[in-house]
Amino acid sequence: MMPSTLRHQPHTWSDDPGDLSSLSDEVIQVGPAALSSMMKLIERGLAMGEGFSGGSEYTGLAGIAHAYLHLYESLTTISASHRGRQSQALQMLAASQASLLSKAAKMAELARAHPERTSFLEGMPGILCIRAAAYKALGQEDRARETAQEVRRWDGPAQRMPPGEDELLYGRAGYLYSLLFLHKHIEPMTDAAPVVHKLMEQILHDGRRHPLAAEYGGLMYSWHGTAYLGAAHGLAGILHTLALALKQFPTGSLSADREWAALITRSTLALVDHAFPSGNLPSSHGSDTDKLVHWCHGAVGLLPLLLEVEGLCTAAEKEKVHAAAEKAGHVIWERGLLLKGPGLCHGVSGNAYALLSAYRKTQDARYLMRSTRFALWLAEHWQELCNHADRPLSLFEGISGAVYLWADVLALHTSAAEQKLDKVYFPGYEI
Ligand SMILES: [Zn+2]
**Sequence-separated (6 or more) residues with CB below 8 Å from residue 198:** 159
Could you give the 3-state DSSP secondary structure of residue 8? Answer: strand
Nearest in space to 311 (alpha carbons), one of 332, 325, 295: 325
Query: What's the 28 CA to ligand 1 centre distance in angstroms?
Result: 30
| Residue 364 Cα to chain centre, angstroms | 20
Residues with CB under 5 A from ligand 1 (ion): 296, 345-346
Helix/strand/coil for 284: strand
Of residues 425, 386, 367, 339, the one with CA closest to residue 74 = 425
Phi, psi of 55 (to 5 degrees): -110, 0
The whole-number pLDDT of residue 215 equals: 98
Using a 10 angstrom Cβ sphere, with 0-12 exposed, 13-18 middle and 19 or more buried, the burial of residue 292 is buried
Q: Please list the residues that pair with 284 across neighbouring strands.
A: 228
Residues near 418 by Cβ (< 8 Å), separated by ≥ 6?
none
Of 153, 225, 141, 236, nearest to 186 by C-alpha is: 141
pLDDT at 87: 77
Task: State in Å: Cα 346 to ligand 1 middle.
Answer: 4
Cα-to-centroid distance, 259 and ligand 1 (Å): 32
Ligand 1 centroid to residue 116 C-alpha, Å: 22
* Ligand 1 centroid distance, CA of 429 (Å): 13
Tens of pLDDT, residue by residue, the chain (431 residues): 455 568 899 999 999 988 788 898 999 999 999 999 999 999 999 999 999 999 999 999 999 999 999 999 999 888 766 655 567 888 888 889 999 999 999 999 999 999 999 999 999 999 999 999 999 999 999 999 999 999 999 999 999 999 889 999 999 999 999 999 999 999 999 999 999 999 999 999 999 999 999 999 999 999 999 999 999 999 999 999 999 999 999 999 999 999 999 999 999 999 999 999 999 999 999 999 999 999 999 999 999 999 999 999 999 999 999 999 999 999 999 999 999 999 999 999 999 999 999 999 999 999 999 999 999 999 999 999 999 999 999 999 999 999 999 999 999 988 655 567 888 999 999 99
Question: What are the CA-CA distances from residue 121 to residues 49, 63, 150, 176, 278 (Å)?
Answer: 20, 8, 17, 11, 29
CA–CA gap between residue 249 and residue 35 (Å, rounded):
37
Q: Are 219 and 207 in contact (CB under 8 A)?
A: yes
Ligand 1 centre to CA of 236 (Å) is 14
Q: What is the maximum span of the chain, computed from C-alpha positions, in angstroms?
A: 62
How many secondary structure helices (H) and strands (E) does the chain include?
17, 0
Query: What residues have CB less than 8 Å from 99, skipping those under 6 apart?
Result: none
294 C-alpha vs ligand 1 centroid, how far in Å?
A: 6
CA of 359 to the centre of ligand 1 (A): 23
Q: Tell me, what's the pLDDT at 1?
A: 47
Whole-number Å distance between alpha carbons of 24 and 22: 5
Give 417 Cα–ligand 1 centroid separation in angstroms.
Answer: 29
d(CA 345, ligand 1 centre) in Å: 4
Query: Ligand 1 centre and the CA of 98: distance in Å?
Result: 32
